[in-house]
Structure 1
């Protein structure tokens, strides 16, 4: 049997097939498929063992980086701690040395206690809890069989997960929408619990059994979610909201976070308590037997499961959608909606070749979010006298504050692109590309923005405006590259001729094609979810099902929890960081980066959580640097490359975490300085900087001080999370940098060159450091810190 082009990487493992609640909207027990009645209540050890073996075999065959397993039900806690331990131990053992394991459990929470949490902490099992809002909202559906409310018990479970020792296990809240519930009230009730993420779920329904619409509005669910979006945005987007984040991501051309939106292939299988291999649980709402495949984990491999027609049908992208969906302007965000929601008895492709029963709602939601974001883009952001300035000045900055910076930087990039077009002589190729870019900017602005936000657009634009003899060809080549990349991202028909350079045809944000001696190539979009590049008589088909083109250098794009990050190793304009960049990485080297970034990001989210939201919003590219001969850590942020940092990959994930947050401080402050003046630019005085061997101009000291707030917090976290000699060394570093960074703040404040906003900014920096200065430390650490500071000043003075 031919292997699937999309191996399975996500598994739902049914630990128990019954539940201690009787939720009347549950698709497992209350909808069309009733197969639960004939299944064992508890999964057996034998099924657990063979499941772990099958997953490991599949992961090894396809060289998966990580597999994601959700322990599910019914209610999985009913399986008991011993059985849950057996599942975790079996999966961990089978996958050891094969790939990473992302293990989660989804529970109604009513029996969650400390003993369960201790078990889950032992195996790092993340916990998602179902809750539909306040008591009134939750009790519309989530009750015991005798009618008792489950609300208090669920709140007790979430309170347990909010304790410091278990907080890292809390994955979020799942809330099923009921239009009878006020969205603001539901949002307030859930947001008050400080979850890391909320999943607002459309109730499962089909064309045969449509969703309830008390208002008789065809867009009531979309309108309900838009009210959530407005409230969430007004609050500064304090937590992830999967459906809303997914719409925002797909509008920017990125992947969705949920199978209910977007065109990404679904790579999910369900293992029932009896070992049956089934399709997604949501299909239980379509008809009795809809998820069944006839396969069993005891007899069938996961490679066989991956080629089942029900899996393949959800991996065809646009080709797998109805004509109505393919013609829809929001199809790349909507993706046709959840597969189960398309079902109608008697229609084509086994009843699923239809738009979603929530079609009008999804369109309303996506267009509503797009219009709101477009309106925000058209409004010049201001941070003056606002909470966002104070938030950034403290050293942090969440999603909303960093998004304001990103929007302004995008505006600057657009202005630079316009300047290039108006000031550089045009070629015929450049003119045709510009016309395509203009049309796309009107019809698919999100795709254009995704390309124009590329961190290395500005170095190209500044070189194009430099006036040397190469500026014209560089400018026109860049315009064609941008237009072609936007065309591909938009999935629109058309062709753009792109000049090549040094044997490579570059598509910013996508990758590059090796073209040898060819002078140009013709990039054509809208080809079965891929695109084509014709170079002479040869056509390269990129992203198509027949396999990878060896000439195509795909961008290394990693989807980490709440953060999408790309390794940039093909863009010629990335060489702006003051250090030698790495050439194209091998697959093995890229995978090492992936592993190290994943571990570093987990450390940041766990130990430096105040830095994580802003970093995830504003840092999109890491450029690998060559390692230095001395073995010292190397990293850099370029003033004209917002959204990127450059790093020589260190051995320790914690070190990479430090370099990332440190350099992203420079990225944030550079963007803020593009937006507002914090100091008098005519100041020529040089100032002592505790981290440099030479005096620094005022902006250099400001940049270094701001970056070292993150360094202080890094060493504080290292001191807290290590022991022995390592903890003592971290304590000394924390002691040194908190005092010397606070001293640098005093130097800035006394400079006499700060603007009113600059004084406010530096004051806020000082307040953050003052809170660090009160932490008790050992006399040895303080003595070592002061000795190091004195030595540095003496060396600098000499």
Structure 2
């Protein structure tokens, strides 16, 4: 069944149709499509205004929390500062009060100057730069028309963006792969520039014009990337790499970060300099006018563009792929590869109904990343013990933690989950026939499809179930839980395995996927998955549930976990798993369709805020926070929680505004991160010296672990209000300033309390010192005398009241 068209949230706005370089691998000028010759060189102000109106119209109709616009070309800097200013101002004007705007420009860098950077700072435009590595590698293709090298000019551009004045503008580096280049030399040259992110792109090719393949390997592009991946891992992942991160995300069942991987529907459209709407630029490599839609900004809406057959075909997920792709074990990661790379004339039906011309390379790359064990840290100890840097804790100690650091926490938690799963099997389920069969299937899948088992073990509520099963508190038997987990793995594997699962009080639990309601006297159900969906046989009937059956009511009794897929982050709204009651507040019942929609919209706005205003937290959240569990707020009060037993999940009642949801997310995820650290490292004497400690935000004395957790969480709370006071105006800014002053005062006092506790281990002392460095960095930030005085008074009053109560307690 075809899915209805979604919405478009990514727009490429062509500012100039020509380029100042003559790169011989460019798909715009050197491949099949030559439509650029008939287009205006520079986009007009009229087209910019109309394009902004069309984007805002679409965003308003679809209630988009954020739209992403890339100013592109050709070379967009050729349009000049004035025209770039017009583009940005028209977009901001049209989207004001409608959607947030993520505005970027992608350039070859040769014209980038301080004048442009000042403009981009004023207008909030982030800058991505194309660079193919060291000079020899870059000059193989990226030259001027007369053959001169562009490398030195691009390095100047990157140096400008890397300096403290403009670092906030730098979005990353984009490198096109040439397997004739030395992969290590390319990697080292790019990493040495310290970009915030980089990516490697396969060169555009089709089955009609295939990519170069030297003799010796059937997968030279995978081999080239594998060299870099190994080196990147050995170096501790110093820079996020989009292609590698996307493979790992899709193997975990999350969304890709790039259109060339994964099964996410196409949500991008191009607006050319003549105002025409086109599909993705990469289609220019297929044939003349391949990206054309026949529509333009003056006479067509973006909803009409969504109805174009080319875009419709790319919204069907796995269903629109060629038969070999649909049966492929890595299809959810590969996604069939880039749509343009599937083109072959005379294929019958659609000329795109083929695997990617890079199919073998994509398979090899994904399998290599899937099967490669993460590099184990090898800390060296001196007389004082390992340092925070040795253990990878320096980022975390300061309150942050990028994707690589949080990814390592997730890996340690995955290892812990596997040990708990094995312990449940060893201690309680050997005599259970169904449990034994489930365990055999888990072992088999772990051998053939380990990512499937990893996805099940990574479900945040596996650990609470396992701990309850080991001490006899879990509902049902340990074997029942093993069968439920095996069934969830079988569904993810989609290879036809049959699993018999005990049913608890009419509820078939499929951890991480959802639940199926069955008659109350049902004792067992048989679950099996195929290409198009899965079946549940129980009580003399068979439920057939398609993978595309939706989250609300298409199959009676099926309640899947809803996924909220956002740019760079996929998070589950978990309101199905009985084990989710691991937080201190009661969980919400199954959300209605309208409630889930409100949650999705608020999460989108909160994530947009985190990405814009708290970028130091966003990569860690994206890497480690998989689940938000809706909680029931007694009396309508805002509540949130994190469970030490449920890494990757937080619980929250939906707060009044998305801004507050963003605050809850970064606050509670601090607890999640620190809990994972404490699972692996001793930061304090478990007894805390038997003492209770002062916490500036609590009326009751706290044990040391409670004080540490609270202080660590309030680093993010303080940072949130620190940024909010600068991002808002009027009364909102004054309120945020007061909050910043208050939490800065209280968090600094709590750090001092921890440092003077006498109960920290040497590693704990260094960890708290890192927290103190962050607090100290805020000390010089100015706040109004009124806010400062009020924060001081509140702190003094709270301490005096606490001391008075303490004297009564003693």
Residues 725-736 of structure 1 mapped to structure 2, 5 A cutoff: 730=736, 733-736=739-742
Task: Give per-residue Cα distances to partners, 1:726-784, cap 9 Å, x unaligned.
Answer: 66665555455445444434443444433333333334334444444455666655544
Task: Give per-residue Cα distances to partners, 1:611-657, cap 9 Å, x unaligned.
Answer: 333332222222223345374x4322111111112223333444433
State the partner residue of 1:456.
Answer: 461
CA contact (8 A) 1:719 1:730 kept: yes
CA contact (8 A) 2:609 2:662 kept: yes
Q: Tell me, what secondary structure is at the counterpart of 1:565?
A: strand
State the partner residue of 1:481.
Answer: 484
State the partner residue of 1:243.
Answer: 243
State the partner residue of 2:497.
Answer: 494
State the partner residue of 1:444.
Answer: 449
Residues 141-220 of structure 1 mapped to structure 2, 5 A cutoff: 141-162=141-162, 167-213=167-213, 217-220=217-220
Which ranges in structure 1 are unaligned for 5 or more consecutive residues? none
Instruction: Describe the shift of the 1:312–1:596 C-alpha distance in structure 2 as closer, same or farther (beyond 3 A).
Output: closer
Distance 2:791 2:328 in 1: 63
CA contact (8 A) 1:162 1:170 kept: yes
Instruction: Describe the shift of the 1:750–1:297 C-alpha distance in structure 2 as closer, same or farther (beyond 3 A).
Output: closer
Residues 368-407 of structure 1 mapped to structure 2, 5 A cutoff: 368-372=368-372, 374=373, 376=375, 385=387, 386-407=390-411
Which of 650, 653, 658 is residue 648 of structure 1 equivalent to?
Answer: 653
CA contact (8 A) 1:625 1:648 kept: yes
Instruction: Describe the shift of the 1:625–1:121 C-alpha distance in structure 2 as closer, same or farther (beyond 3 A).
Output: farther
Instruction: Describe the shift of the 1:766–1:169 C-alpha distance in structure 2 as closer, same or farther (beyond 3 A).
Output: closer
Task: Give per-residue Cα distances to partners, 1:288-331, cap 9 Å, x unaligned.
Answer: 34334555566666555445443344444444444544454433
State the partner residue of 1:556.
Answer: 562
State the partner residue of 1:658.
Answer: 663
State the partner residue of 1:310.
Answer: 310
Distance 2:222 2:141 in 1: 21
CA contact (8 A) 1:542 1:548 kept: no
Q: Tell me, what secondary structure is at the counterpart of 2:583?
A: coil
Whether 2:407 is the aligned partner of 1:415: answer no
Instruction: Describe the shift of the 1:90–1:715 C-alpha distance in structure 2 as closer, same or farther (beyond 3 A).
Output: closer
Distance 1:347 1:378 in 2: 49
Instruction: Describe the shift of the 1:68–1:727 C-alpha distance in structure 2 as closer, same or farther (beyond 3 A).
Output: closer
Distance 1:315 1:630 in 2: 39
CA contact (8 A) 1:381 1:404 kept: no
Q: Offset of 1:545 from its aligned partner?
A: 7.2
Q: Tell me, what secondary structure is at the counterpart of 2:476?
A: helix
State the partner residue of 2:808.
Answer: none
State the partner residue of 2:712.
Answer: 706
Q: Offset of 1:225 from its aligned partner?
A: 1.6
CA contact (8 A) 1:4 1:306 kept: no
Residues 262-273 of structure 1 mapped to structure 2, 5 A cutoff: 262-273=262-273
State the partner residue of 1:333.
Answer: 333
Q: Tell me, what secondary structure is at the counterpart of 2:146?
A: coil
Whether 2:598 is the aligned partner of 1:592: answer yes
Distance 2:86 2:613 in 1: 30
Task: Give per-residue Cα distances to partners, 1:334-362, cap 9 Å, x unaligned.
Answer: 23322322334444445444433323332
Distance 2:68 2:733 in 1: 33
Greater mean alpha carbon deviation, residues 539-548 or residues 326-335: 539-548
CA contact (8 A) 2:255 2:569 kept: no
CA contact (8 A) 2:684 2:764 kept: yes
Q: Offset of 1:152 from its aligned partner?
A: 4.1
State the partner residue of 2:677.
Answer: 672
Whether 2:616 is the aligned partner of 1:613: answer no
CA contact (8 A) 1:542 1:549 kept: no
Instruction: Describe the shift of the 1:267–1:732 C-alpha distance in structure 2 as closer, same or farther (beyond 3 A).
Output: closer
Task: Give per-residue Cα distances to partners, 1:455-481, cap 9 Å, x unaligned.
Answer: 11122222223325xx46253443233
Instruction: Describe the shift of the 1:397–1:316 C-alpha distance in structure 2 as closer, same or farther (beyond 3 A).
Output: closer
Q: Offset of 1:366 from its aligned partner?
A: 1.7
Residues 8-407 of structure 1 mapped to structure 2, 5 A cutoff: 8-43=8-43, 66-80=66-80, 83-84=83-84, 87-88=87-88, 102-113=102-113, 124-162=124-162, 167-213=167-213, 217-293=217-293, 302=302, 305-372=305-372, 374=373, 376=375, 385=387, 386-407=390-411
Distance 1:102 1:608 in 2: 14
Q: Offset of 1:534 from its aligned partner?
A: 4.7
Distance 2:592 2:584 in 1: 23
CA contact (8 A) 1:4 1:303 kept: no
Q: Offset of 1:396 from its aligned partner?
A: 2.8
CA contact (8 A) 1:236 1:399 kept: no
Distance 1:39 1:144 in 2: 22
TM-score (norm 1): 0.88
Q: Offset of 1:12 from its aligned partner?
A: 3.3
TM-score (norm 2): 0.86
Distance 2:122 2:742 in 1: 35
Greater mean alpha carbon deviation, residues 699-708 or residues 307-316: 307-316
Residues 561-576 of structure 1 mapped to structure 2, 5 A cutoff: 561-576=567-582
Q: Offset of 1:482 from its aligned partner?
A: 1.8
Which ranges in structure 2 are unaligned for 5 or more consecutive residues? 806-810
Instruction: Describe the shift of the 1:156–1:585 C-alpha distance in structure 2 as closer, same or farther (beyond 3 A).
Output: farther
State the partner residue of 1:510.
Answer: 513
Instruction: Describe the shift of the 1:595–1:231 C-alpha distance in structure 2 as closer, same or farther (beyond 3 A).
Output: farther
Q: Offset of 1:445 from its aligned partner?
A: 1.1
Give the paired residue count: 792
Instruction: Describe the shift of the 1:117–1:507 C-alpha distance in structure 2 as closer, same or farther (beyond 3 A).
Output: farther
Task: Give per-residue Cα distances to partners, 1:661-700, cap 9 Å, x unaligned.
Answer: 2222221222222213222324422222222211122222
Q: Offset of 1:30 from its aligned partner?
A: 0.5
Q: Tell me, what secondary structure is at the counterpart of 2:19?
A: coil
Q: Offset of 1:145 from its aligned partner?
A: 2.1
Task: Give per-residue Cα distances to partners, 1:563-622, cap 9 Å, x unaligned.
Answer: 322222222222222123332333443343334333433443444433333332222222
State the partner residue of 1:424.
Answer: 428
Instruction: Describe the shift of the 1:317–1:55 C-alpha distance in structure 2 as closer, same or farther (beyond 3 A).
Output: same
Distance 1:381 1:557 in 2: 41
Distance 2:145 2:461 in 1: 59
CA contact (8 A) 1:3 1:306 kept: no
Whether 2:528 is the aligned partner of 1:524: answer yes
CA contact (8 A) 1:321 1:336 kept: yes
Q: Offset of 1:55 from its aligned partner?
A: 5.2
Greater mean alpha carbon deviation, residues 119-128 or residues 581-590: 119-128
Instruction: Describe the shift of the 1:152–1:796 C-alpha distance in structure 2 as closer, same or farther (beyond 3 A).
Output: same
Q: Tell me, what secondary structure is at the counterpart of 1:640?
A: coil
Q: Tell me, what secondary structure is at the counterpart of 2:28?
A: helix
Distance 1:316 1:671 in 2: 38
Q: Offset of 1:29 from its aligned partner?
A: 0.6
Q: Offset of 1:247 from its aligned partner?
A: 0.9
Q: Tell me, what secondary structure is at the counterpart of 1:70?
A: strand
State the partner residue of 1:744.
Answer: 750
